[in-house]
Copies of this chain bind each other. A is one copy, B any other.
Amino acid sequence: MEKPPSKKGESFGRWFDWVLSEAEIYDYGRYPVKGVGVWMPYGFKIREKVLNILRNLLNSSGHEEVLFPLLITEDMIKKEGEHIKGFEDEVFWVTHGGLDPLDIKLALRPTSEVAITHMETLWYKSYRQLPKKLYQVVSVFRYETKATRPMIRLREVTTFKEAHTLHDSFEDADRQVREAIEIYSKFFDELGIPYIVSKRPEWDKFPGALYTVAFDTVLPDGRALQIGTVHHLGQTFTRVFETIIHKRDGSQDYGWQTSYGVSDRVIASLISIHGDDRGAILPPNVAPIQVIVIPIPGQSEDETDLVWRYASDIDNELKKSGLASTVDLDKERKPVEKYYYYEIKGIPLRIEVGPRELRENSITIFRRDTFSRFKARREELVGVVRETLSDIERNMKKKAWDEFRSYIRQVRTIEEAADIIATRSGIVEIPWCGKERCATEITEKTGASKMLGTPLEVRELGDLKCPICGEKAVTIARIAKTY
Contacts and interface: CB of A to CB of B under 8 A. Distances in A.
Interface of A: 27, 30-33, 36-41, 44-45, 47-48, 64-73, 75-76, 88-99, 106, 108, 115, 118-119, 122-123, 134, 139, 141, 143, 145, 156, 158
A31 B139 contact: no
B98 A96 contact: no
A38 B96 contact: no
Nearest to A89: B98
A67 to B, nearest CB: 4
A73 B239 CA distance: 39
A93 to B, nearest CB: 4
Residue of A45, A48, A98 most packed against chain B (CB within 10 A): A98
B98 A33 contact: no
Kindly report how many copies of this chain are found in the complex they form together. Answer: 2
A30 B134 contact: no
A113 to B, nearest CB: 14
Given A91-B98, A98-B90, A98-B91, A122 B30 contact: yes
Contacts of A38: 66-69, 119
Contacts of A33: 69, 71-73, 106
A95 B99 CA distance: 12
Nearest to A93: B96
A143 B98 contact: yes
Given A30-B122, A118-B32, A70 B39 contact: no
Contacts of A72: 33
A64 B44 contact: yes
A137 to B, nearest CB: 11
Given A33-B73, A75-B32, A94 B92 contact: yes
Given A30-B119, A119-B31, A67 B158 contact: yes
6 contacts: A30-B119, A33-B69, A36-B70, A37-B69, A41-B134, A47-B67
Contacts of A64: 41, 44
Contacts of A41: 64-66, 134
A66 B44 contact: yes
A92 B92 CA distance: 12
B94 A108 contact: yes
